[in-house]
Amino acid sequence: MLQAIGLTSTPRRDRPPAVDDLTFEARPGAVTALLGPPGSGKTTTLRLMLDLDPGRGITHFRGRPLHGVAHPSREVGVFLGDVPGHPSRTLRGQLRMLGAASGTPRARAGEVLRAVGLAGLEGRRIGTLPLAAERRLGLACALLGTPHALLLDEPGAGLSLADSAWLYELLRAHAAGGGTVLYTTQDPKDAARNADRVVTLDRGRIVGDQDATEFARTRLRPRVAVRTPHVARLAAAVTQEARAARRPVEVVAENGNLLSVYGSDCAAVGDTAFRHGVVVHRLADEIGDTAPAPRSQEDGASARDTSGQEAPQRPVPPSRDAGQASGATATGDSAEERPRARKPARSPSRPLRYELHRLVGVPSTPLVVAMVLLVSATLALLLARGGSAALPVVLAGWPAISPLPPAALGAGLIGAFSFGEEYRYPALTVGRGAVPRRLGLLFAKLVVAAAVALGLGVLVAAADLGALRLVYGAELIPVPSNWPSLCASWLGLLVGCAWAGVLGAGVFRAAAAGVAAVLAVPVAFVPLLQQVLTGPSVRSVAGLPARLREIAGPQWSPGADRWLAGALRVVGQPAGVALSLVLTGLLCAYVFTGLRRRARW
């Protein structure tokens, strides 16, 4: 059972809320349509149900709010119109990445692709799919976690008749298996033909909640709506005259004093009422999906449903923090019958696997690596040709006019893409009610970015060295005696730039911000620290490793002492100090903004 209680969106400025006090339910084993014209609040309703938009009210998925579900992707599958994936990612890569986020096996990706009719297209890029195939992929993403409920926003919009028939057959099959299906549509005929129950919205309020058969009978046929205190007398008179004239007229007494006459017109019904002395308070033609619009609050009247009666009073919308207490009241189940709410699982379930799939699934990573190798080798050859540059500078391809070597810029760019793509193509947010700001995901991104930076550093050094040997010969490349410290400084610079890109993009939610954080180190912080560190000093940090060894207690070997001293010398360089300060500030900002935004860690 899917229950929405008192959903109300947060109004913007002086405008009324897009969704105002909606309460309805979608039952298991049935397909429920959320019907309404554009701007009626259908998509906002789905987003409120998924906690993706701010507002009041709560939605229970089989008795629990979304934040109380242990595995949201196994409870609800979502399709909100667009596939949340990078256009260059393949179908198989997209589903495997989402499978890592939800904790589903790798084989499940192939199963859902076959289930939606996309077998054989696993290597196709998302950006090259036609509309029908894109909708099938969206359904595959929604079905990936084997969910009980499906929430779909306009799934059949723009599809051909054959594709629409396939789509609704799939939804029927999901409902027949005991699942719950809720989808939005603008077409009343679509709702009557493919749904079991139709909930009609108009201007953010419910104006009808009917069985599909009743909806088709009362909302899709031309009718004459008559309001009279003598419903039975008028119904008998209209039926008698229609039979005498052999006209196919159907008379239906609605709730209260409303009469619906099908197969006639206002003139004929009015004449019949006049001849039989029946008082008529209202007489109007209603065609198609006509429904009275809800009145404004200034009129002092509430909205009316399709039968013309007062809409039932909605319960006071509870806050989203109501938790399981409101869930017990809404479902009517006792506390003993309902299982205890479990702490929601962290998303993604397997962050390291998810990040690896995200990294290798798009061509931007190998493209950046190839460009870095090409530019670095070219600069190394140009620097070595002059003969004035030192060998470490030549191998790094770092000319004096550049703030950073190409490898550092490439590592920072790859790190910035790590979080920049999460917000540009939000695969983790849609349908899961979570934002990609948990510390486990951050740790996975930092580990993968460091591994890529280390690999890039080794590749650049090897490529530059090979290019120098090929062009100028091996005899002109002596190995310096302090090569261990040089290698440590080189790799530390690349890892620091990669981490700065990750944290900068994570804090400011854009890849450009991550690149700016990387460039800020040599442009802004290193010159400032050089001025500070080159000034006169009466203190020295000599002997710091020995003092740290005394504080630590256990004695370590002299070799470890030398390694610690070397690490401190590397970090003590202006670039190392600047990177350390920038990374510390970005990490604190990341944690602070995550707590302020109530991110789900």
163 and 257 in one domain?
no
249 and 139 in one domain?
no
4 pLDDT band, cuts 50/70/90, is: very high
Report residue 243 as tokens: 């039979």
pLDDT digits (tens, 9 = 90+) for 40-74: 999 999 999 988 888 899 999 998 988 888 788 88
Rounded to an integer, what distance in angstroms lies between the CA atom of residue 86 and that of residue 422? 10
Distance set, CA 398 to CA 402, 455, 504 (Å): 7, 18, 24
Residue 579 placed within a domain: yes
Which has the closest alpha carbon to 184: 141, 151, 140, 225? 151
What's the pLDDT score for residue 15?
A: 81
Q: How many domains does the chain have?
A: 3
**Residues in CB range of 545: below 8 A, 6 or more apart:** 561, 564, 565, 568
Residue 97 placed within a domain: yes
Residue 538: give the domain boundaries. Answer: 351-596
499 and 577 in one domain?
yes
341 has pLDDT over 60:
no
Dihedrals phi, psi of 55, to nearest 5 degrees: 165, -170
What's the pLDDT score for residue 13?
A: 75
247 and 137 in one domain?
no
531 pLDDT band, cuts 50/70/90, is: low
Helix, strand, or coil (residue 388): coil
What's the pLDDT score for residue 45?
A: 93
Report residue 213 as tokens: 């058969």
**Any idea what DSSP says for residue 288?**
S
pLDDT digits (tens, 9 = 90+) for 463-474: 998 998 888 877
Residue 336 placed within a domain: no
What's the pLDDT score for residue 472?
A: 83
Helix, strand, or coil (residue 42): helix
Residue 215 placed within a domain: no
Higher-confidence residue of 407 and 342: namely 407
Residue 170 placed within a domain: yes
434 pLDDT band, cuts 50/70/90, is: very low
Mean pLDDT for the stretch of residues 173-197: 92
pLDDT digits (tens, 9 = 90+) for 160-182: 888 899 999 999 999 999 999 99
Residue 339 placed within a domain: no
Q: How would you classify residue 4: left for phi > 0, otherwise alpha for psi between -120 and 50, otherwise beta? A: beta
What's the pLDDT score for residue 309?
A: 36
Residue 294 placed within a domain: no
Choose one of 241, 266, 287: the last residue of a domain.
287
Q: How would you classify residue 338: left for phi > 0, otherwise alpha for psi between -120 and 50, otherwise beta? A: beta
170 and 147 in one domain?
yes
Lowest mean pLDDT among 481-485, 504-508, 538-542, 595-599: 595-599
Tokens 């909302």 correspond to: 219
240 and 168 in one domain?
no
What's the pLDDT score for residue 506?
A: 87
386 and 277 in one domain?
no
- The helix (run of H) or strand (run of E) holding residue 456 is helix 439-472
At 165, the amino acid letter reads: A
**Do residues 65 and 231 touch, judged by C-beta distance below 8 A?**
no
Higher-confidence residue of 452 and 336: namely 452
156 and 239 in one domain?
no
234 and 149 in one domain?
no
Tokens 């790798």 correspond to: 106
Mean pLDDT for the stretch of residues 274-279: 92
Mean pLDDT highest for which of 123-132, 244-253, 363-372?
A: 363-372
601 has pLDDT over 60:
no
Residue 314 placed within a domain: no
CB-side neighbour CA atoms (13 Å) of 20: 20
149 and 40 in one domain?
yes
Rounded to an integer, what distance in angstroms lies between the CA atom of residue 275 and that of residue 271? 6
584 and 456 in one domain?
yes
- Roughly how many angstroms between the first and final C-alpha of the chain, as a whole number? 28
Choose one of 179, 209, 239: the last residue of a domain.
209
**Any idea what DSSP says for residue 66?**
G
226 and 204 in one domain?
no
Rounded to an integer, what distance in angstroms lies between the CA atom of residue 41 and that of residue 79? 16
Distance set, CA 173 to CA 152, 167, 556, 587 (Å): 15, 10, 67, 48
Which has the closest alpha carbon to 190: 321, 51, 35? 35
- Which CATH number characterizes residue 241's domain? 3.30.70
**Any idea what DSSP says for residue 105?**
-
Alpha-helix residue ranges (DSSP H) falling in 292-438: 323-331, 351-360, 364-386, 391-396, 406-424
Helix, strand, or coil (residue 294): coil
Choose one of 209, 233, 266: the last residue of a domain.
209
What pTM did the predictor assign? 0.71
- Which CATH number characterizes residue 26's domain? 3.40.50.300
